[in-house]
Amino acid sequence: MMKHIHLSLAHMSGKEEEFIHEAFLTNWVVPLGPNVDGFENDLAAWLGEKSASPLHVVALSSGTAAIHLALVMLGVGPGDEVICQSFTFAASANPIVYQGATPVFVDSEPGTWNMDPELLRQAIDDRLRATGKLPKAIIPVHLYGTPARMDEINSVASAYGIPVVEDAAEALGSEYNGRYCGTFGTYGALSFNGNKMITTSGGGALICPNEESARRVKFYATQARENFPYYQHEQIGYNYRLSNISAGIGRGQMYVLDEHIARRRAIHALYVEKLKNTPGITVMQPRSNVDLHPNYWLSTILVNPQEAGFTWQELSARLTAADIESRPLWKPMHLQPVFAKAPAYVNGVSEALFAQGLCLPSGPMVTDEDVDRVVEIIKN
Ligand SMILES: *Cc1c(COP(=O)(O)O)cnc(C)c1O
């Protein structure tokens, strides 16, 4: 029997159960509690090692909730537009619509597959002409863990005074110019869903600009309950806090985070090495004028059917037949029926990537032998 090779399976440190057990013993089987504080501190300390100033991290129920609360904090509402990278997962864009605002999609540049800073500038100018207003926020994404061109994106954003919400859901541990992704925008969103870099079974976090904003995010995440002896509400709130049990899993996962990053990078390096000079197959390796250290959350390839002699769909079917998971690249948001009416600034990059791309098994449980099996199928 051949072993089933997963795309991105979670992997436990073994410490998770201790934190969960402790929560049960101390009867903290409720939202909030010591594991939530502990997990927030762990994240802030870990990310803070490459940050000039202390970080303010709020643990939330999902990465989607984190992006949503960032938009709430920035005052995004009906009639507003928010620019979002088109080449991403729908969770980057959905919260814009939750706020009654309109997403405006901007295409990618080929070096990082992320938001094209020049197209971003054109989009902002054009929105200003079309609506008389500036977009309320900009959401770049570090897709597959490859850092977006943050210096250029931030300089365009600051030239117009527009805040940036970094979608770093796939990019925990990725470095751009010696700093961690998620710490470049006004807000940075992380995800701890089952297949991300670390998991809390479901969860996320928002990296906030200061103590006061972090306090405010916690307030919105706990139904916007005012500080009164009775239940007083002056704002619309959300039930978005991470549970103490989930946070316990997160605390345990912090013990394997470095290991997971190292393993995913090693898997990517193996694919690069073993697939070099394979006709029609290109392993994604970002090009940039700054120092990039992607976490390689997922290793991805492009399949040129003329040169390879097969399409990514055919390759994917062969992998499936061999009990190996693969996945197409994200379908750009400007091609999604649900966003058909949203303004989009496109240059063909994300459409070309979507037409040729495939994600390969990349999780920390993938062994060198598993990579060999995947490579064998690609080469034959
Ligand atoms: C996973 C993901 C999210 C959402 O995170 P959840 O925790 O699943 O809500 C947002 N953006 C991107 C790019 C993602 O991959």
Residue-wise DSSP of 242-292: PBHHHHHHHHHHTTTHHHHHHHHHHHHHHHHHHHTT-TTEEE-----SS-E
- Across the chain, what does the average pLDDT equal? 96
Q: Which of 196, 329, 331, 333 for a ligand 1 pocket mutation test, highest count of atoms within 8 Å of Cβ?
A: 196
Please report which confidence band the pLDDT of residue 21 belongs to, taking 50, 70 and 90 as the band edges: confident
- Report helix angle 244-253 to 16-25, nearest 10: 150
The whole-number average pLDDT for the span 48-74 is 96
Examine the pLDDT at 30 and tell me if it is beyond 80: no
Of ligand 1's listed atoms, the one at least distance from the Cα of 67 is 10
Q: Domains in the chain, please, with CATH?
A: 16-256 (3.40.640.10), 258-379 (3.90.1150.10)
Higher pLDDT, 24 or 253: 253
In the sheet with 357-360, reading across from the earlier edge strand, the strands are 281-283, 299-303, 357-360, 327-328
pLDDT of residue 64: 98
pLDDT of residue 31: 63
Q: Residues 362, 268: contact at Cβ < 8 Å? A: yes
Closest protein CA for atom 5 of ligand 1? 63
Residue positions counted in the chain? 380
The whole-number average pLDDT for the span 253-276 is 97
Residue 55 identity (one-letter amino acid):
L
Report d(CA 297, CA 52) in Å as an integer.
25
Q: Residues 339, 104: contact at Cβ < 8 Å? A: no
Residues in contact with ligand 1 (CB, 6 Å cut-off): 62-64, 88-89, 91-92, 141, 167, 169-170, 191, 193, 204
Q: Strand, helix or coil at 358?
A: strand
Examine the pLDDT at 364 and tell me if it is beyond 90: yes
Examine the pLDDT at 27 and tell me if it is beyond 80: no
Of ligand 1's listed atoms, the one at least distance from the Cα of 202 is 7
Higher pLDDT, 51 or 337: 337
pLDDT of residue 229: 94
Higher pLDDT, 26 or 311: 311
Of ligand 1's listed atoms, the one at least distance from the Cα of 167 is 11
Q: Which percentage of the chain shows pLDDT scores above 70?
A: 98
pTM higher than 0.75, yes or no? Answer: yes
The whole-number average pLDDT for the span 284-295 is 96
Say which residues have a Cβ less than 8 Å from residue 157's Cβ, sequence separation at least 6. 120, 138, 163, 164
Of ligand 1's listed atoms, the one at least distance from the Cα of 192 is 7
pLDDT of residue 25: 80
Phi-psi sector, 47: left (phi>0), alpha (psi -120 to 50), beta: alpha
Examine the pLDDT at 1 and tell me if it is beyond 80: no
Report d(CA 87, CA 333) in Å as an integer.
6
pLDDT of residue 2: 80
pLDDT of residue 63: 98
Q: Residues 205, 218: contact at Cβ < 8 Å? A: no
The string of pLDDT tens digits covering residues 154-172 is: 999 999 999 999 999 999 9
Report d(CA 294, CA 284) in Å as an integer.
11
Where is 137: in which H helix or E strand?
strand 137-139
Q: Which of 61, 94, 170 for a ligand 1 pocket mutation test, highest count of atoms within 8 Å of Cβ?
A: 170
In the sheet with 204-208, reading across from the earlier edge strand, the strands are 56-60, 204-208, 187-191, 165-167
In the sheet with 179-180, reading across from the earlier edge strand, the strands are 179-180, 175-176, 292-293
Q: Residues 321, 277: contact at Cβ < 8 Å? A: no
CA 380 – ligand 1 centroid, Å: 34
